[in-house]
Copies of this chain bind each other. A is one copy, B any other.
């Protein structure tokens, strides 16, 4: 069974309260996972990112389990959580750690499957990073030097270069978390970055469809105008 929200309740339970919701789950939500615009592995990543960003831990164990079945590596789950400490808040990540700890334990994931804190980093695109850093420094360097420094040193010169999660997947996690928690103003930069990192527009479009169910229609309709703007700007 796919990592659907009803998986933590017996199907009987849902039907006893809402046969309609049980039917929508079967006929619409579960079929969503069969759409080929996005692989099951990507849908797992999008779903886990949305759950962590929205701090919804009840269903998280089942979804992580399913993700590991679909080929997401334990090390990638580890990196997704670490990444979202920065992009969804430290406590959201810590709640996810508790869930992953249990899932990893039950599956017998050995320590060698978990990426170390230190080690090699991916090569940095110095030009792009200089441009990003300069823009942020120009905008906010004077009023928020602390944030600006952490953003450069910890996020863009370290976290984003950790090799155990591909930049394209790291972007997928980031964009999913932004849409799922309504951070519309932060979508343009990260959606552009995601497309630069190899996410296709078709995949990004399907991420939005997927999140309509997992984060609700309002988050998605608030994201659509900026998604559209990013796509149209790139087409020029």
Asked if A87 lies at the interface with its beta carbon under 8 angstroms from chain B, I say yes
Cβ-neighbour of A221 out of B4, B95, B145, B186 (below 8 A): B186
Mask of A114-125 contacts with B, CB within 8 angstroms, 1/0 = 111110000000
Segment touching B, from A13-21, A126-134, A192-200: A13-21
Could you say how many copies of this chain the assembly holds? Answer: 3
CA distance A88 to B88 in the complex (A): 18
Are A115 and B19 interface neighbours, CB within 8 A?
Answer: yes
For the complex, count residues of A whose C-beta is within 8 A of B: 95
Shortest Cβ gap from A161 to chain B (Å): 12
Are B35 and A219 interface neighbours, CB within 8 A?
Answer: no
Are A20 and B146 interface neighbours, CB within 8 A?
Answer: no
Cβ-neighbour of A98 out of B13, B51, B177, B217 (below 8 A): B13
Residues of B within 8 A of A18 (CB): 78-79, 81-82, 97, 114-115
Interface residues in A74-125 (C-beta closer than 8 Å to B): 78-79, 81-82, 85-95, 97-98, 100-101, 104, 111, 114-118
Asked if A6 lies at the interface with its beta carbon under 8 angstroms from chain B, I say yes
Are A97 and B9 interface neighbours, CB within 8 A?
Answer: yes
Are A91 and B147 interface neighbours, CB within 8 A?
Answer: no
Are B208 and A146 interface neighbours, CB within 8 A?
Answer: yes
Residues of B within 8 A of A29 (CB): 90
Are B89 and A215 interface neighbours, CB within 8 A?
Answer: yes
Cβ-neighbour of A151 out of B216, B217, B225 (below 8 A): B217
Shortest Cβ gap from A114 to chain B (Å): 7
Are A101 and B24 interface neighbours, CB within 8 A?
Answer: no
Asked if A43 lies at the interface with its beta carbon under 8 angstroms from chain B, I say no
Are A17 and B218 interface neighbours, CB within 8 A?
Answer: no
Closest 6 CB pairs of A and B: A146-B209, A23-B117, A183-B218, A89-B216, A5-B90, A19-B117
- In addition to A5-B91, A16-B101, A20-B78, 15 A-B residue pairs with Cβ atoms within 8 Å of each other are A14-B94, A18-B97, A23-B117, A24-B154, A54-B55, A54-B89, A56-B91, A87-B218, A90-B214, A92-B216, A146-B205, A150-B209, A150-B212, A182-B183, A186-B218
